[in-house]
Chain A
């Protein structure tokens, strides 16, 4: 069974975010990227399924800074094939999830994929998660917020989380696209020595993304840092002064 895991890099918030001159996007040169956390769970879930004796794991990702390390790390964990989607992902308006879903669908159609595990969401999903449009292009069912998968005779038994603590168990006919919220176990640690050994043996294949077709997504008119609201009042002074003023305000508003 082929399990495809599309992953992507997202802005690492350990660095300050810088908006570029166009005012509509983050400056790619100032960004530090890291693997989307939910995608890390999707990789783990795929490897867990493989370890149960089912499948070859294929990791696929847009070719951006840092992706080679992420792919080799996935290989060190047990992924079998690594594929980079080459294209101008950093071009202005070059990439969104609509474009990514189309490219992923073109690639996945070349495989006999039975299970596609994506991270359920990413912090830079301005136009919705990538899973649903990908499922649409592939003509497959989609289930999101998945926190457990068992595969059996052409179907998958799935645990899906709902808000408020409800959990549903459902059955999906394969092939299907699943948005992984959490793998059954936390993503494993892979020692650097293993990653380095993998770098010497594993190969990263390339699949040309061709034209990045971004239509279908909302257009960002303006991107900006949170602005100070005029309603906010900053109370100056030492702790006692601030506390006394807070009590006054609570009394004025009838809270106390």
Chain B
């Protein structure tokens, strides 16, 4: 039985025009074809059209070839290309993501990604869990976690928890650790529970802008119901969305990543950090904290406040940090990526941590503990490497 080929609305003049009109089109025209983007891309060697080659295809009017290849799904939206581009072209946001959007519109979506997008649409979380159970991670723990609506109408701080920190069994440990920290610091905070939806940023960077807008609007409706001064989150993707992208939809709230929020309270926090940590810690800069938002020092300052800590740097550090592989939809393309590359960036990263002499890999993004812990299981020389969120290390150092 023959399978009909999809009609291909992807290659259209509007798309060409959108890539070539100002402001971003003008920048795309300034491409020098130096190839730095393609060289620095962790998966550039697997892509048929890494960023520079994609621009060459655009100039040669053979962009249909780009859209007939599925290797743009290897892009993990890690900002490495954007960071090195000497012409300052917003490659991640405006080229790679736009190509994904066109593929999505043409119905060319890897099956794994489709499931994640459908889950986000149906349940408001990418893991396909019950929205009613969003705050269940806080049940039965000693630390108090007030709910907006049920316990409070207003609070100083709205803690936006996010999908993975709410539902993923490993990442829930980070949430519980932060609950202990916030209580110890007497922070007046509350969470949204079932009113919260996924931030949508990685869905956006996987080409699903409509879904991103839908989730952002739902979150805005929840934010509007309560009074608070600022939003904090452990999730750099949520931070990036609320700080940089929600305002383009008219949704503006002050937001800080938890490492910024805690670093500001270091004087209050430091005397309570009494349990020394033995061994060396390597800090992994998450793409959406580091390259996308220039936050490099606060997480390191927090780690340095823990007694006994010796920080070591990996070969890819700060602006050159190596993505865990989870961004831009990578969290939901594990099988697809393996099929194309037969390797994982998270495995390269734990090797780097070991090579730097680290016994603990510290992270600051909810995608990372599960990804790096899985990598530790498959990389022999990384056996024994511990992976912890900065928040977990602080909470552990605080306990008697």
Contacts and interface: CB of A to CB of B under 8 A. Distances in A.
Interface of A: 14-15, 32, 34, 48, 51-52, 148, 150, 159, 184-186, 188-196
B23 interface: no
Nearest to A193: B210
24 contacts: A14-B128, A14-B129, A14-B130, A32-B130, A34-B122, A48-B3, A48-B4, A51-B7, A52-B4, A148-B1, A150-B1, A159-B1, A184-B1, A185-B3, A189-B107, A189-B118, A191-B208, A192-B121, A192-B208, A192-B211, A192-B213, A193-B209, A193-B210, A195-B210
Contacts of B123: 14
Contacts of B107: 188-190
Top 9 closest A-B pairs, CB basis? A192-B210, A193-B210, A189-B114, A192-B211, A189-B109, A148-B1, A14-B130, A188-B107, A51-B4
Tell me whether chain B's interface is mostly helix, strand or loop, or mixed.
helix
Contact of B210 (A34, A52, A148, A196): A196
Contact of A191 (B4, B111, B128, B210): B210
B98 to A, nearest CB: 13
Contacts of B1: 148, 150, 159, 184
Contacts of B130: 14-15, 32
A129 to B, nearest CB: 23
A52 B107 CA distance: 17
B143 interface: no
A32 B111 CA distance: 24
Interface centre among A14, A194, A195 (most CB of B within 10 A): A14
A192 B111 contact: no
Contacts, number: 46
Interface centre among A48, A188, A189, A195 (most CB of B within 10 A): A189
Nearest to A187: B114
Interface in B1-47: 1, 3-4, 7
Interface string B209-222: 11101100000000
Nearest to A73: B121
B105 interface: yes
Given A184-B1, A184-B3, A196-B210, A191 B104 contact: yes
B347 to A, nearest CB: 29
Contacts of B105: 191, 193-194
B132 interface: yes
A186 B114 CA distance: 11
B135 interface: no
B398 interface: no
Given A15-B130, A34-B122, A192 B104 contact: no
Given A159-B1, A184-B1, A186-B111, A191 B129 contact: no
A14 B122 CA distance: 11
Nearest to A192: B210
A195 B129 CA distance: 23
B75 interface: no
A48 B7 CA distance: 11
A193 B210 CA distance: 5
B117 interface: yes
Interface string B115-127: 0011001110000
B132 A15 contact: yes
Contact of B211 (A15, A34, A191): A191
Contacts of A159: 1
Nearest to B104: A191
Contacts of A195: 210
Contact of B117 (A14, A15, A189, A196): A189
A249 B133 CA distance: 39
Interface centre among A32, A51, A192, A194 (most CB of B within 10 A): A192
